[in-house]
């Protein structure tokens, strides 16, 4: 391979992930995972069966074992004499900082757990968390895990409507939020969305208490008897808490991801298997050495990357890590590199969207900071294009740091396909091969595996894995239908297209269904369409994900307007388009705003009424329109194109 990058001998010698892991996993799949679980996790009661797949596709891992995720992430490090090790270097957007050791973390998590008990939270109760990137978000998640109360973290950029559906589906009794959050140097409200989500006007809300962190000190509406200030309740609690052990299969968290029906899916993960694979992958893929590394995953805790590679994986491994509240360009475009230099960050895990943005800003910005501490770089959220990969290595990694391009999903819980930095000769733009212990193949349209290079197919997983989702919350049938029906019950279909190159490396090609990947965040076309149609001007809408240089994909909407609105569009087209974009932002969140809203006279439909989105995608990406013979009216695409040229 002319364009491959072999690891240095020095890196290979000290790497956590060595080539023999592949042989061990191949020789004894269950024995391999049992060894990872016992080596990396502290069990209150050892498991007596590694995998129970008798109820497939519902797995049970480490059956009979008992543990507490919070104890594994906090207490055992203190007990091992590492209480003074820094767990979190917190950097606020405005420059405020906090240094939190493992001993500090233990006290804060204990106080938060005691506060939640006072609010009536018990084992099995669901708690919704709607917070910015502040340490209290980590305290809250670990306190829930300590009590065996599954948490449902909702990204702080989501709207009141999106928050409402997630609270209702999880039947959350308590919501943890903040008065506001800092974004681009200004305070933005947060609690107001919680109030609107609870006082929604339809069914009675399950929420009994709202625990509010004071972050921006802005004015908030207050509901006496329901709302409680964090600093008043948590600070007066005892700073010790006796944790109990839970069954390995006890639910740890629910995380909602967009579904093709428009109704978000509550993906839920359980404790033992998830924690094992999160810790294992953080160790062997990121090559984390907790005694010497400073690790920084730039994700938000509202996404699965923040769960697995800020909270559970790194803390289970005893890492020292950076948590940053703000955006990459506040107060200036060198903010991230300033943080890397300040804390001596050695492992950086971020998204291709961010890397492409930095490329646009210019090479001179990172060049003015000392980034020599960086030794491993990671990429997550979507496939990274080779040009961005090379720029990342050259300008951020000093021309030598390996890049681990990781493929995984909310559903998989942890990294599945990735190079190992001390083993793999890296190929820019490819996630390369399944990590030790994971089995994947690419299937053709008939569901048959193939290995021919450059042929495009469907990525599937062929064996259960410890951190796999255990279902969709409250909907077993939807779980089976969504993930296990496309190619029959023996294959988990990930929803992504893929191909091999001539060296057998896997190249991910993005989503093949009606879910798009915007800046590494999955958004459902159906959910955006529902939001558009809820506007009184819109009669019908179709949304596609179009390739976008910065965000990977961007929503492009095609709308048919109602009678009066069509006249309005003639007169004030841009204003109406902006109104529709803002409406989607209000209903779902700013990330879902369509890049373009194109007003069309008709949508391309088959005789059965199905919208042919691939044809709209051709238009959105300025390609020649494909085969129109299956349309009920083949002239529609001509009308659309003619209308857009006006």
Task: Note the Cα 194 to chain centre separation in Å.
Answer: 22
φ, ψ of residue 258 to 5 degrees: the values are -65, 140
Can you state the angle between helices 191-198 and 160-170, rounded to 10 degrees? 60
pLDDT for the residue numbered 629 = 60
Report yes or no: 165 and 198 within 8 Å, Cβ to Cβ.
no
Among residues of the chain, what percentage have pLDDT more than 90? 74
pLDDT band for 77, please (50, 70, 90 cuts).
very high
Q: How far apart are CA 53 and CA 519, in angstroms?
A: 35
Task: Say how far apart CA 115 and CA 29 lie, in whole Å.
Answer: 42
Instruction: Output the pLDDT for position 253.
Output: 98
pLDDT in tens, 339-366: 999 999 999 999 988 998 899 899 999 9
How much is the pLDDT for 552?
86
The count of other CB atoms within 10 Å of the CB of residue 625 is 16
Query: 538-548 and 521-524 as β-strands: parallel, antiparallel, unpaired?
Result: unpaired
**333/358 Cα distance (integer angstroms):** 8
> Phi and psi for 586 in degrees, rounded to 5?
-70, -40
Q: Which domains does the chain have, with CATH numbers?
A: 102-244 (3.40.50.980), 518-645 (3.30.300.30)
pLDDT tens per residue across span 88-125: 999 999 899 999 999 999 999 999 999 999 999 999 99
Of 277-281, 389-393, 497-501, minimum mean pLDDT range:
497-501
Average pLDDT, integer, range 489-507: 93
- How much is the average pLDDT of 163-190? 95
According to DSSP, the residues that pair with 461 across neighbouring strands are 440, 492
**pLDDT number for residue 644:** 64
At 123-160, the pLDDT tens digits run 999 999 999 999 999 999 999 999 999 999 999 988 89
For residue 610, the model assigns a pLDDT of 61
Average pLDDT of span 406-416: 97
Q: How far apart are CA 41 and CA 272, in angstroms?
A: 8
Nearest Cα residue to 77 out of 108, 38, 33, 41: 41
pLDDT confidence of 175, banded at 50, 70, 90?
very high
Q: Over the stretch 548-566, which tens digit does the pLDDT of each residue have?
A: 888 888 999 999 887 777 7
Give 472-512 as a DSSP string: BTT-HHHHHHHHHSTT-TT-EEEEEEEEE-TTS-EEEEEES
Q: 314 with 321: CB under 8 angstroms?
A: yes
Considering only residues 192 and 605, tell me which one the structure prediction assigns the higher pLDDT. Answer: 192
- Name the nearest CA neighbour of 196 among 210, 214, 182, 217: 210
Strand partners, 379: 350, 405
- pTM reported for the whole predicted model: 0.85
pLDDT (0 to 100) of residue 262: 60
State the pLDDT confidence band at 2, using cuts at 50, 70 and 90. Answer: very low
Torsion of CA 30, 66, 474, 471, to 10 degrees: -20
Q: Which of 350, 441, 436 is nearest to 397 (CA)?
A: 350
Plot region of 280 (φ>0 → left; ψ -120 to 50 → alpha; else → beta):
alpha
Determine the pLDDT at residue 500. Answer: 95
pLDDT band at 605, cuts 50/70/90? confident
**Cα–Cα nearest to 141, from 324, 7, 269, 8:** 269
Instruction: Name the residue with higher pLDDT: 198 or 575.
Output: 198
CB 180 within 8 A of CB 190: yes
**Pair 170, 473: CB distance under 8 Å:** yes
The CA-based angle 358-411-513, given to 5 degrees, is: 75
Distance CA 193, CA 154 (A): 12
Mean pLDDT score across all residues of the chain:
92
Return the exposure string of 572-596: e unless at least 16 CB atoms fall within 10 Å of the residue's CB, then b: eeeebbeebbebbbebbbebbbbbe
Q: What is the pLDDT of residue 261?
A: 55
What distance in Å separates the CA atoms of residue 619 and residue 547, rounded to the nearest whole number?
12
Tell me, what's the pLDDT at 1?
38
């Amino acid at each position: 391979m002319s364009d491959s990058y072999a690891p240095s001998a020095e890196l290979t010698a000290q790497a956590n992930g060595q080539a023999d892991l592949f042989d061990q996993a191949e020789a004894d799949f269950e024995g391999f995972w049992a060894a990872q679980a016992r080596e990396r996790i502290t069990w209150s009661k050892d498991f007596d069966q590694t995998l129970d797949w008798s109820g497939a596709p519902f797995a049970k891992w480490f059956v009979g074992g008992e543990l507490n995720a919070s104890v594994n992430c906090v207490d055992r490090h203190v007990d091992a004499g590492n209480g003074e090790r820094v767990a979190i270097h917190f950097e606020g957007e405005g420059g405020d900082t906090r240094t939190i050791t493992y001993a500090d973390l233990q006290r804060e998590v204990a106080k938060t757990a005691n506060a939640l008990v006072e609010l009536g939270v018990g084992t099995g109760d669901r708690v919704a968390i709607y917070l910015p990137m502040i340490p209290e978000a980590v305290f809250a998640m670990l306190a829930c895990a300590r009590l065996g109360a599954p948490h449902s973290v909702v990204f702080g950029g989501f709207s009141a409507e999106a928050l409402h559906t997630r609270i209702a589906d999880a039947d959350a009794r308590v919501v943890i939020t903040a008065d506001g959050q800092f974004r681009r140097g200004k305070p933005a409200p947060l609690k107001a969305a919680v109030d609107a989500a609870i006082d929604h006007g339809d069914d009675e809300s399950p929420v009994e208490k709202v625990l509010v962190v004071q972050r921006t000190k802005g004015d908030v509406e207050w509901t006496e008897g329901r709302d409680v200030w964090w600093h008043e309740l948590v600070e007066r609690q005892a700073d010790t808490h006796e944790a109990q052990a839970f069954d390995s299969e006890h639910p740890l968290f629910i995380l909602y991801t967009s579904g093709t029906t428009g109704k978000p899916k509550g993906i839920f993960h359980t404790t033992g298997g998830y924690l094992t694979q999160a810790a294992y992958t953080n160790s062997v893929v990121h090559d984390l050495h907790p005694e010497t590394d400073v690790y920084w995953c730039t994700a938000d805790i509202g996404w699965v990357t923040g769960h697995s590679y800020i909270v559970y994986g790194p803390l289970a491994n005893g890492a020292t890590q950076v948590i940053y509240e703000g955006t990459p360009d506040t107060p200036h475009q060198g903010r991230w590199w300033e943080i890397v230099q300040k804390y001596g960050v050695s492992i950086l895990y971020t998204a291709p969207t961010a890397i492409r943005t930095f490329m646009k800003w210019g090479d001179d910005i990172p060049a003015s900071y000392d980034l020599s501490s960086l030794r491993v770089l990671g990429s997550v959220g979507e496939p990274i294009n080779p040009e961005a990969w090379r720029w990342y290595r050259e300008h951020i990694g000093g021309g030598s740091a390996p890049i681990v391009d990781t493929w995984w999903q909310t559903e998989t819980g942890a990294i599945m396909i990735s190079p190992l930095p001390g083993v793999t000769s890296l190929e820019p733009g490819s996630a390369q091969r399944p990590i030790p212990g994971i089995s994947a193949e690419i299937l053709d349209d008939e569901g048959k595996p193939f290995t021919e290079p450059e042929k495009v197919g469907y990525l599937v997983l062929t064996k259960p894995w410890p951190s796999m989702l255990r279902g969709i919350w409250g909907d077993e049938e939807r779980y089976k239908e969504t993930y296990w029906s496309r190619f029959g019950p023996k294959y988990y279909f990930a929803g992504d297209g893929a191909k091999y190159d001539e060296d057998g490396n896997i190249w991910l090609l993005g989503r093949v269904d009606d879910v798009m990947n915007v800046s590494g965040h999955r958004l459902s076309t159906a959910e955006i369409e529902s939001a558009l149609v809820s506007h009184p001007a819109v009669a019908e809408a179709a949304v596609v994900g179009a390739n976008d240089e910065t965000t990977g994909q961007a929503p492009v909407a095609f709308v048919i307007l109602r009678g009066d609105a069509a006249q309005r569009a003639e007169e004030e087209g841009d204003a109406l388009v902006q109104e529709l974009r803002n409406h989607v932002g209000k209903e779902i969140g700013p990330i879902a705003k369509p890049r373009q809203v194109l007003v069309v006279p008709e949508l391309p439909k088959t005789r059965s009424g199905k919208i042919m989105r691939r044809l709209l995608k051709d238009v959105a990406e300025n390609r020649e329109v494909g085969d129109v013979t299956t349309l009920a009216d083949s002239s529609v695409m001509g009308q659309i194109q003619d209308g857009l040229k006006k």
